[in-house]
Amino acid sequence: MLFPAIFNFGASNSDTGGFAAAFIQPKSPNGDTFFRMPVGRFADGRLIIDFTAESLDLPFLSAYLNSLASNFSHGANFATVASTIRLPERIIPNGPSSPFYLRLQYLHFAQFKARSQTIRKGGGLYASLMPRDEYFAKALHTFDIGQNDLTQSLFLNKTATEVIAAVPDIVNQFTDNIQNLYGLGARSFWVYNTRPIGCFPVILTRFPSAEKDSAGCANLYNELADHFNVELKKALAQLRNKLPQATIVYVDIYSAIYSLYTSPAEYGFQLPLVACCGYGGKYNYSEAAACGETLSVNGKNITVGSCKDPSVRVNWDGIHLTEAANKFVFDGVSTGAFSDPSIPLKLACNPQ
């Protein structure tokens, strides 16, 4: 077994049920493509973290916050929808952010690491649901977080200049948490950069006058994401020198996803800028009509449902990718073609 466990830290792009356990379960058609029911994922099916687990012959990750029927024997998922790297300014229900920001996810992990071994020593049924002690050092630690630090600041009416000014602190807090995990024995880190947010219906709808590139994406907001990514890549390079026993892989998920906007037909996709599960407007997206929710239009109740064929669509609900797009992206990034250092996922356990 290459990695006996996965511990994931992130936001909605990798949340497998944390937000649903803490707040509210997403409604159908979320989950319908693969699971045939909502399962705490904001997509029609599997996420990149799910494909990661499958590729390593591991079960899907249970959310740490989920107390029902969870099995943590091969890892845990600390991600929740709307999570940020930095301490959020305003949290649900009085703001856009999850309270479970990255520092808190790390603290959850630290608590889980200690308590799970106490449970294992106690024996019995619950012991079998906890990871072995040696799994923690041998596990893959994955990160898919940072997007909300950018977008939520924009939604709170901060300018791109103000967001850029915050990037050094965001990146520093990111790498601080990686160092903290290293201090607890973690050695293998698979770190995604942030995505081309300027291509997402939520951004295109919120900022309709933004200048567009040839793919129809909003230049300013992709440039903002790219700035974050440049700084993150430099910081991780410095961290490798500081933590020579760790394998720290920077994964350029931005480029893997952006190819679906520049050449969708080449990869079998259609209408990449348009949400599959949405309602209204040029991009089939409205903040008043989340996927699976019901809204009133001209006196009639309409349930926001899926497009006819999610398998050929890139964007699911205005913010997240479809299962098909997640699979395409995972197949690309897992080869190492988008990584620095350029090593495939299954070799990320080897010290560099």
- At 255, list the tokens: 């480029």
Choose the catalytic residue: 74, 149, 317, 339. Answer: 317
CB atoms within 10 A of CB 157: 7
Tell me the H-state helices in the chain: 18-22, 48-55, 102-122, 135-138, 147-155, 160-183, 201-206, 219-242, 253-262, 323-333
Q: Within its chain, how far is the Cα of 268 from the centroid?
A: 23
Known catalytic residue at 227: no
Instruction: Answer for the pair 351, 247: CB distance below 8 angstroms, yes or no.
Output: yes
Plot region of 67 (φ>0 → left; ψ -120 to 50 → alpha; else → beta): alpha
Known catalytic residue at 320: yes
- At 16, list the tokens: 């497998």
Cis check: omega of the bond before 88, within 30 degrees of 0 = no
* C-alpha to C-alpha distance for 64 and 85, rounded to whole angstroms: 18
Known catalytic residue at 317: yes
**Cα-based angle 107, 111, 116 (whole degrees, multiple of 5):** 150
Bridge partners, 294 (sequence order): 303
Q: Taking Cα atoms as reference points, which of 259, 228, 45 lies closest to residue 147?
A: 228
Choose the catalytic residue: 83, 320, 334, 339. Answer: 320
Choose the catalytic residue: 12, 73, 83, 116. Answer: 12
* C-alpha to C-alpha distance for 268 and 311, rounded to whole angstroms: 9
- Name the residues annotated as catalytic: 12, 317, 320
